[in-house]
Structure 1
Amino acid sequence: MKQYQKDYSTYEALEGWEKASIGQQLRNWAKRYQDQVAVADEKEKITYRELNEKADSMAFGFLEMGIQPGDKVVVQLPNRISFVKTLFALIRAGAVPILALPAHREAELEGIIKLAKPAAYIVAEKYLGYDYLPMARKLKKNFDCLKAVIVDGEQKVDFLLDHVMGESRQLPEVDPYEPAVFLLSGGTTGIPKLIPRTHADYMYNARMSAKRCQLKEESVYLASLPVAHNFPLCCPGLLGTLDAGGKVILSATTSPDDILSLISEEKVTITALVPAMVTVCMELLQWDEDYDISSLKILQVGGAVLEDSLADKINEEWPDRLMQVFGTAEGLLCFTSMEDEKEVVARCQGKPISPADEVKIVDEYGFEVAVGEYGELLSRGPYTIDGYYMADEANQNSFTEDGFYKTGDRATWTKEGNIRMGGRLKEQINRAGEKIMPAEVEAFLCKHEHIKEAAVVGVPDKELGNRICAFLMTEEDAELSLSEVHRYLKREGIATYKMPDQVEQVEVWPLTSVGKIDKKVLVQMAQGKKDERENAQ
């Protein structure tokens, strides 16, 4: 099958579309906003003018170092101003950053390097107690393509990031329809796939997100998730906020105390969190009255399905702030609107951000489903990719012949024309031939008066193929037995085959690198608990 290729010229008449590089966008922002603060972290702040000048100086330094236009560079930096300067400097030099998360380790990085053959690796010396230098030295030794390891810190491998600067020179011309960055897929198995986002499509992504969020120069965006991730980078995130002339605050960690303190101190107006982080922040607010979140106008929640009960709780305790988000690093973004009624915001993930987004929800045979029926969400449009980088097999599986990206997410249309998500299709549990979607069971469990949060997983089982295990976080550590859960679900009218075979209680969730509940770890925990009980007998 010949790979579909998008024609970017068909989108050039769209409001918000601009055929310009991200490096040029920064130059425009510096002229427009000059000495306004662009970005601040726990140690320093930088104005638009200073960020533009630093990006030039570092770009000259990267070119002097031998990084060529078109070279790929792995960037693994936490939420610091050094990340922002490095991102813009590499783009200005014509190089393409591959944005790794701080939590990535050798397994992921080796796969990325084998595939992309980057010319350099830029990494923090230490972050949250982890020393990256032994790993960096090993990668440099094992991969000849890595000409330089550049360290953000005090101990160097080849170069220190602080010393990267050079004499003024002509910067290379950059094609706005070529990749500006490579994002990494958030798949649950294997090595992350490389997602090429072009200058024009990614800035359109940021600009339309900022428009939906009504960002302006007075806006203050808190990046509490890792800023190398698509959600805080461009939805509207760092890029959308800078395009609007606002200020970006970088949180060093995802600690709820850090998040709430920064909202209070910096008068943050918008931030993005995943559901598990929202729950912890709300609990902290209940017993500590020193935080002041009155400045917060928008709380974006996405990255995982937001249970109806938690959405209602947010609306009750943080009125008029919730904005539900569904997004993919591959492209499509759906937000609820500031004008939506609370009841609408609590029950859907809104509409696509662009009028040019093409969205279909289809059944297993590829036919579109009726309103209210669930199917797989497919998308095509100005900022949705038409293929992963050097991944023929993945592209055959993930894209239709006419260029629609198969998200792998279950969704339905509401009667108002909004999208409501129903979980990942890959998470579907096949129990003795019956198909169960975890999100459906989780929604019922979260209605129980003693259950704060629930996560349902399929666990390999010799007799059933997969058994259903429900992990519960309860109010005040209330104990709920399997039989009690069954009685409750029976009263709710849920089918018998969807009832859990195993119930486990947790005090804290295992989380992924971006704060989502790590269901792979939950499967291992469920198997371990069952083995413990069998051995005890």
Structure 2
Amino acid sequence: MTPAAPEPLPSGLTPWPADVAIHYREKGYWDGRTLGSLLAGWADEYGDRIALVAGGERLSYRELDRRADRLAAGLAGQGVAPGDRVLVQLPNIGPFVVLLFALARLGAVPVLTLPAHRITEIGHLARLSQAVAYVIPDEHAGFDYRDLAAALLKEAPDLRHVLVAGAPGPFTALADLDGEPLPLAEPDAADIALLLVSGGTTGVPKLIPRTHQDYGYNARASARACGLSAETVYLACLPVAHNFALACPGVLGTFTAGGTVVLSPSPAAGDAFPLIEAERVTITALVPPLIPLWLEAAEWDPADLSSLRVLQAGGSKLSAEVARAVPGALGCTVQQVFGMAEGLLNYTALDDDPETIATTQGRPLCPDDELRVVDADGADVTPGEVGELLVRGPYTLRGYYRAAEHNATAFTPDGYYCSGDLVRVLPSGHLIVEGRVKDTIDRGGESISAEEVEAHLLAHPGVRRGAAIGLPDTGRGEQLCAVVVPGGTPPTLQELRVFMMGRGLAAFKLPDRIETVDELPVTPVGKIDKRALVRMVSERSPA
């Protein structure tokens, strides 16, 4: 009989079964250290090395540790206590990093939201987490977050404090929370360290609990897989509140190796390229829609990018054509990263052959990552066939935060997380992502992976960016629509169909329609927003 899944704790964490937890500790994946104690260890080991470059400021490991202590004392003085949730909505600025460690020292739990979130998402997350404090910038990208905070106070009954990085207006300046360090009780490494916001484009966001010990392993193992060292200079140009830029290996992984993190205000080439040149950046990460923009900018931008060794691509599938173009255009290696804020990470190795790097999404990070690939009935598929990826392991959650109803379907009774990703596994262990269970187009009785169609679409020389979506069709259920951002003269529908057929794509997967747009709508983390795209196309040209 399958053992019952552990019940969630009062903290909202669904724990790993006791025997599994013992195994992970014995294997050294969980080392009993908290994020706050990790920073103290790095300060002792790396001392005056530069940990963080943010704007005009350069902080050593020792200074970062000291500031985290002082901010923790200031937060305690405001009444923020161990276990309290704190809603954090900061862009890529130095106070984000200091605050993260200050809350870890205090045993409070940051809820890491994205700058693009607005009252719908923020209100939901505040109520779900019962956050007692909300940390914002004054203004960012032309938006005044103090107005958002005023609206949130009317919707979130538990919210007591609004702390502002910058001019506080009617609220409290974060900079004023500076106190003499206090003796603070060390949190339990098995407790929740932070709450990440789930990705995707459907439904309200869910919260992903990550413990000190599992997230520490996530960052540490990722740093090893990516070859980080004290010479590493990591450019964080994606939002650092996102798992990819925070710990894959991101900010935290760079710190484990004694390297330097450079914060960029945005991933735009105009912001990132000067920082790569000035700070001699060695590694950075982008979502695939941004990579062609960098390749185009590199043709005319005079910035010296010769220090860049690795460009990570993750968040959605990178087309093989774009992956093959990166070394020639940017002079660096591509590393494909397929993972999820819920846990599992896969990386291509830096020494994989070029075709493996271009055409696969890597191998699992940990020897104890347990993967199953199943059909629609939950039965394991034949090796090499496409199915839904199920996973459990030492850094993959066992349940979303306070989401019992959703957890009943998102996890199997024996603890596997049902990722919703369609994959196949090669004999080498590398995964190829074929799409999403729900990102399919049901056309005439055939289920078509949107990502498969998109890979062929993006190979056309007249297509700079593109997406495949399903639109309602009375005769076939859905019709397949190709939405393209042109790269020159866009193809006609007939030209595109001939091109795709010439690449060996089955006739039933060919587009029924083509629509041209200036830009594709994206989610806050840079993924193509399929729901918004369907609305956009439906409004301008009824199916």
Equivalent pair of 2:311/2:333 in contact (CA under 8 Å): yes
Equivalent pair of 1:209/1:240 in contact (CA under 8 Å): yes
State the TM-score, normalized to the length of structure 1: 0.95
Equivalent pair of 1:76/1:100 in contact (CA under 8 Å): yes
- Matched-pair identity in %: 43
Which of 488, 506, 528 is the aligned partner of 2:499?
488
- The answer for the alignment partner of 1:3 in structure 2 is 5
Distance apart, 1:520 and its partner CA: 2.1
- The answer for the alignment partner of 2:355 in structure 1 is 343
Q: Which runs of 5+ in 1 are unaligned?
A: none
Q: Which runs of 5+ in 2 are unaligned?
A: 7-14
Letter in 2 for 1:3: A
Distance apart, 1:206 and its partner CA: 0.1
Distance apart, 1:198 and its partner CA: 0.2
Distance apart, 1:187 and its partner CA: 2.4
SS in 2 for 1:142: coil
Mapped partners of 2:265, 2:331: distance in 1: 27
Mapped partners of 2:118, 2:184: distance in 1: 33
Letter in 1 for 2:447: K
SS in 2 for 1:426: coil
Distance apart, 1:164 and its partner CA: 0.6
Mapped partners of 1:241, 1:109: distance in 2: 29
Equivalent pair of 1:441/1:498 in contact (CA under 8 Å): yes
Residue 267 of structure 2 is aligned to residue 254 of structure 1? yes
- The answer for the alignment partner of 1:207 in structure 2 is 220
Mapped partners of 1:101, 1:197: distance in 2: 17
Equivalent pair of 1:350/1:418 in contact (CA under 8 Å): yes
Letter in 2 for 1:44: E
- The answer for the alignment partner of 1:79 in structure 2 is 92
Mapped partners of 1:167, 1:406: distance in 2: 46
SS in 2 for 1:79: coil
Equivalent pair of 2:219/2:249 in contact (CA under 8 Å): yes
Distance apart, 1:511 and its partner CA: 2.3
For residues 379-398 of structure 1, the aligned pairs below 5 Å read 379-398=391-410
SS in 2 for 1:225: coil
- The answer for the alignment partner of 1:427 in structure 2 is 439
Equivalent pair of 1:149/1:157 in contact (CA under 8 Å): no
SS in 2 for 1:411: strand
Which of 152, 160, 173 is the aligned partner of 2:165?
152
State the TM-score, normalized to the length of structure 2: 0.94
Which of 110, 113, 118 is the aligned partner of 1:105?
118
SS in 2 for 1:346: helix
Which of 473, 483, 495 is the aligned partner of 1:461?
473
Mapped partners of 1:142, 1:492: distance in 2: 53
Letter in 2 for 1:283: E
Mapped partners of 1:389, 1:349: distance in 2: 28
Distance apart, 1:434 and its partner CA: 2.0
More deviation in 449-458 or 86-95? 449-458
Which of 290, 299, 303 is the aligned partner of 2:311?
299
Residue 380 of structure 2 is aligned to residue 368 of structure 1? yes
Residue 60 of structure 2 is aligned to residue 43 of structure 1? no
- The answer for the alignment partner of 1:33 in structure 2 is 46
Residue 162 of structure 2 is aligned to residue 162 of structure 1? no
Distance apart, 1:307 and its partner CA: 1.0
Mapped partners of 2:151, 2:81: distance in 1: 24
Equivalent pair of 2:215/2:395 in contact (CA under 8 Å): yes
Mapped partners of 2:199, 2:92: distance in 1: 19
More deviation in 352-361 or 461-470? 461-470
SS in 1 for 2:196: strand
- The answer for the alignment partner of 1:326 in structure 2 is 338
- The answer for the alignment partner of 1:525 in structure 2 is 536
Which of 275, 286, 296 is the aligned partner of 1:283?
296
SS in 2 for 1:195: strand
Residue 218 of structure 2 is aligned to residue 218 of structure 1? no
Backbone CA RMSD of aligned residues: 1.6
Mapped partners of 1:319, 1:372: distance in 2: 33
SS in 2 for 1:421: strand
The superposition leaves residues 271-326 of structure 1 with CA deviations (integer Å, 9 ceiling, x where unpaired) of 010111111000011122x1221111111001011111111222443455110000
Equivalent pair of 1:150/1:157 in contact (CA under 8 Å): no
Equivalent pair of 2:386/2:422 in contact (CA under 8 Å): yes
SS in 1 for 2:115: coil
Equivalent pair of 1:137/1:157 in contact (CA under 8 Å): no
Letter in 1 for 2:487: E
For residues 168-187 of structure 1, the aligned pairs below 5 Å read 168-187=181-200
User: What is the aligned length?
Assistant: 530
Mapped partners of 2:431, 2:34: distance in 1: 32
Mapped partners of 2:93, 2:499: distance in 1: 47
More deviation in 51-60 or 305-314? 305-314
Mapped partners of 1:372, 1:442: distance in 2: 21
Mapped partners of 1:240, 1:507: distance in 2: 37
SS in 2 for 1:526: helix
- The answer for the alignment partner of 2:9 in structure 1 is none
Which of 233, 239, 246 is the aligned partner of 2:252?
239
Mapped partners of 2:181, 2:316: distance in 1: 45
Distance apart, 1:227 and its partner CA: 0.2
Equivalent pair of 1:151/1:157 in contact (CA under 8 Å): no
